[in-house]
Amino acid sequence: MKLYNGPQIIVGLVIFLAIFTYPLWSGAGKAAPVPKPQPVPKSVATQCVADTAYMRTSHMTLLNYWRDEVVRDGDRLYVSASGKTFNMSLSNTCFECHTSKVKFCDQCHNYLAISPFCWDCHLTPKEKK
Amino acid sequence: MGVDRRQFLKLAGISAAFGLGGSVGFQLLRPGALDAAERMPTPYQMVFPKSQGNSEVMPNPKALKGRRWGMVIDMRKLTVEKARAAIQACNYYHNVPTIPGKQNIKWIWLTGYTNAFPEVENPFADPAIKNARFIAMCNHCDNPPCVRVCPTKATFQREDGIVMMDMHRCIGCRFCMAGCPYGSRSFNFRDPRPFIKKEYPKYPTRTKGVVEKCTFCSERLAVGKLPACAEASGGAMVFGDVDDAGSELRQLLRSRYSIRRKPNLGTHPQVYYLV
């Protein structure tokens, strides 16, 4: 079997494969930096609405639950497992301590390449430069 | 290797017995092991693992409580200035944008007599009424057509009568806008944020593709405050419990003649105009 225009085709294939696989080999051996959400200073608050491990994995479930309770039933106060009472509000409660969306929320969300649409409506505090 | 008829029937019989007896066998040897439905965590447990188990939700004790909220608008007291103040307060506290043209968002607005009350049109009516500017807003109907037509239950009626919107569920189909006979609902044709003059940080804005309307300030009632328009109107708009015969609202309704918008449609609007 004869390959017509062999050299051009092979060179073309090599160039194509190099470009096509660029995302694979360019990042080989390098890990994306681990996200570092800004911790809340101890002077501002010492405990969140739930423990850190739970918030890390399930804050979205908790927020969905809060949303349903507030919008549907009008129950707006949340008594946490530690007995503290919170107003169930993303913009008004969460952002009182986590004052920067860029330094807190976006850290992990960008790392995991997810873009929740909470912020389409819920306002976040102005970012300090 | 072939299988003769006798071997085939034996195999089939054993397989059938095993298949049929399988779950019975499980129940005998390990009772309850297959009861998946009972072992599924409840939604509450799914939200809260054991560490969050003893948390709870409750309404704010300061919240205003009523069996059936309503509003009375006193047309003798309502001047255009007071109405504008009420509209401005509402627009500010709810981040209502001002968009030029037909895509504007309205929660509460001014309208003329014949527009608000088309079926009582009367060319010789008292000019004080005929030429007055009426405040129009969501009537929070007792029999709300918008709630009936909503395919996702994004709009619903609370126990205290307030017709609420759950923006998270709204798919922007605009059936409710077709259903509402008062034009109280507005659709976000575009992102409203650039059209909000001054953002009120404690209340969310809306996003493109949802319908919005007046909520009788449910977020203010929940912390014991009156609706923003009633507070800013200098006594021309009175908010109260329609179901409570002793309320200020009911006393006003007893003392003067009141009309409602398009009552013949059977929606039972809960905004009353004292004329």
Q: What is the pLDDT along chain B (275 residues), one digit of tens a residue?
A: 688 999 999 999 998 887 766 666 667 677 666 665 555 555 555 566 555 666 788 888 888 999 999 999 999 999 999 999 999 999 999 999 999 999 999 999 999 998 999 988 788 888 888 899 999 999 999 999 999 999 999 999 999 999 999 999 999 999 999 999 999 999 999 999 999 999 999 999 999 999 999 999 999 999 999 999 999 998 999 999 999 999 999 999 999 999 999 999 999 999 999 98
The reported pTM is 0.79
pLDDT in tens, B123-138: 888 888 889 999 999 9
- Nearest CB among B52, B57, B206 relative to A81 is that of B52
Q: Do B168 and A61 touch (CB under 8 A)?
A: no
CA distance A12 to chain B (A): 46
- H and E: helices and strands count for chain B: 11, 11
Check if the beta carbon of residue B211 is closer than 8 Å to that of residue B177.
yes
Q: Which of B44, B46, B50, B58 to mutate: most A Cβ within 10 Å?
A: B58
Query: What pLDDT is stored for residue A26 in this prediction?
Result: 85
What is the rounded distance in angstroms from the CA atom of residue B47 to the CA atom of residue A106?
23
Closest CA–CA distance from residue A88 to any residue of chain B (Å): 9
Show which of residues 108-147 on chain B sit within 8 Å of chain A, judged by CB atoms: none
Could you give the CA distance from residue B118 to residue B126 in angstroms, rounded to a whole number? 16
Contact present, B192 and B105 (Cβ < 8 Å): yes
* A71 touches B at CB < 8 Å: yes
Ordered per-residue pLDDT tens for chain A, 129 residues: 788 998 999 999 999 999 999 988 888 878 778 888 888 888 888 888 888 888 888 888 889 889 988 999 888 998 888 888 999 999 999 999 999 999 999 999 999 999 999 999 999 988 876
- How far, in Å, CA of A14 to CA of A19, rounded? 9
Which of A54, A74, A79 lies nearest to residue B158, judging by beta carbons? Answer: A74
- Return the residue of B nearest to A74 by Cα: B59
> From CA A72, how far away is CA B28, in angstroms rounded?
45
Whether A75 sits inside 8 A of B166 (CB atoms) is: no
A76 contacts B52? CB cut-off 8 A? no
**Amino acid at residue number B129:** I
Check if the interface score ipTM surpasses 0.90.
no
What DSSP assignment string belongs to B66-111?
Answer: -SSEEEEEETTT--HHHHHHHHHHHHHHTT----SSTT---SEEEE
Among residues 103-122 of chain A, which lie with CB inside 8 Å of chain B? 117, 120-122
Length of chain A: 129
From chain A, the residues in CB contact with B46 under 8 A are 61
What pLDDT digit, counting tens, does each position of B78-112 carry? 999 999 999 999 999 999 999 999 999 999 999 99
Query: A79: distance to nearest CA of chain B, Å?
Result: 5
Q: Are strands B69-74 and B271-274 parallel, antiparallel or unpaired?
A: parallel
Per-domain residue ranges of chain B: 5-52, 70-274
- The fold of B70-274 is Alpha-Beta Plaits (3.30.70)
CB contact under 8 Å between B57 and A88, yes or no, is yes
Q: Which amino acid is at A15?
A: I
Which pLDDT score is estimated for A129?
Answer: 65
Instruction: Name the closest residue on chain B to residue A126, using Cα atoms.
Output: B201
Check B222 against A88: CB less than 8 A apart.
no
